[in-house]
Structure 1
Amino acid sequence: MAKLDIISVPDPLLKTNSTELGQVDNDLRRLMDDMLETMYDAPGIGLAAIQVGVPKRLLVMDTEGTEEEKKPLFLVNPEVIWESPEFNIYNEGCLSVPEHYAEVERPDSVKVRYLDYDGKQQETMFDGLAATCVQHEIDHLNGVVFIDYLSRLKRNMIIKKVAKATKSTTVL
């Protein structure tokens, strides 16, 4: 497995709509394993392929695992097929927007259809934090970053801060 580089705002790739995948094969499983290692190392609870520069409809997440026992999920071509009328507000962060957080309102529960690590179609209900996480990552696949839910002023301020911090940590 290999740790991948995570891209940050304002990288235009983050505004890309990711393309659907045909089937799950060994190359895709290798990418999923690398993404999972990258997510755990970051550390984070979710990571979309676009965040590592791959514009494919794929995400990994783990909102239930512990350091000793991880419980990763691999979602290929995920789509929300139902959402609850109740909403929750979470203070979200993002590996592509390091050290910035904001409250985002999303449906409290969602049902998602996807292909799993073995290429089998699944439908899973997500509630609470897992629902927030899966919606956040699916947003990435649609070219949406959580700061897009904020006012233009707040969003631009965060983008400038991240760009400045990224520039100052880049070693030539």
Structure 2
Amino acid sequence: MFSGNEELESPAVAPHGPLPGGGRVRPMTRWGTPIMHRPQQPVTVFDDSLRKLAADMVATMYAAEGVGLAACQIGEDVAMFVFDCPDESDQRVVGVVCNPTLVLPEGRERRLDDSLEGCLSYPGAFVACARPDFAVVEGQGLDGEPVRFEGDGLLAKCLQHETDHTRGTVFGDRVSAKAMKKLRKQHDAAAEEYPPDWPT
């Protein structure tokens, strides 16, 4: 997920530990590639190769100036995402989630945030996308332990956006045909800024 030019300079909260480091930056997989549009395989083995993949995801997310990245966005068929994203109060939260499940507000508690959204796999384009303004994600960490993250603001949007990726959904699937046309126009206009090997 694109940051929308958010500043990420404040100290981060890491309720389940820091993000893995030492990864390599990999090219971004784009919308239209089959892996982006089908559910990802659940994580069943929690080993060094999974940690290495997560480290590559973190490195790629930062190189692309994003706030979240799913494994499918670097071409890996794995239900996992990483994030470093501020909430409504600008408090950064970082984490890794394998096999995510979403819990969203219902009834009177449900309010929508229709702010702009962008995707690292469709770079250079932003449109409004209405999503609940609070989200909880539960799943597993890199050692298979239970993890839980919750938040509002951009963090809520990020948790939903990245969980969608693990299910084969891109945010363009959630907007109107008119909005998608606008998104496509922005994306095409910015194409030269994002060559096929971006952000390596």
* TM-score for the superposition, normalised by structure 1: 0.84
Shift of 1:126: 2.0
Partner of 2:130: 105
Corresponding letter in the other structure for 2:146: Q
Partner of 2:114: 89
Please state which structure has a larger fraction of its residues in helix: 1
Partner of 1:61: 83
Shift of 1:160: 7.0
Aligned ranges 1:37-52 → 2 under 5 Å = 37-52=59-74
3-state DSSP class of the match of 2:56?
helix
Instruction: Indicate if the aligned counterparts of 1:10 and 1:163 stay in contact, CA closer than 8 A.
Output: no
Instruction: Indicate if the aligned counterparts of 2:125 and 2:186 stay in contact, CA closer than 8 A.
Output: no
Shift of 1:163: 6.4
Residue among 131, 142, 151 paired with 1:117: 142
Instruction: Indicate if the aligned counterparts of 1:9 and 1:163 stay in contact, CA closer than 8 A.
Output: no
Change (3 A) 1:22 1:98: same
- Number of aligned residue pairs: give it: 166
Change (3 A) 1:161 1:129: closer
Q: Which moves more between the two structures, 55-64 or 118-127?
A: 118-127
Partner of 1:133: 158
Q: Which moves more between the two structures, 51-60 or 122-131?
A: 122-131
Alignment of 1:72 onto 2:94? yes
> Which residues of structure 2 form unaligned runs of 5+?
1-22
> Which residues of structure 1 form unaligned runs of 5+?
none
User: 1:89-134 CA deviation, whole Å, 9 max, x = no partner?
Assistant: 2211110111000111111112211112332102222222111001
Instruction: Indicate if the aligned counterparts of 2:86 and 2:154 stay in contact, CA closer than 8 A.
Output: no
3-state DSSP class of the match of 1:119?
coil
Aligned partners of 2:93 and 2:131: how far apart in 1?
23
Alignment of 1:146 onto 2:183? no
Alignment of 1:10 onto 2:35? no
* TM-score for the superposition, normalised by structure 2: 0.73
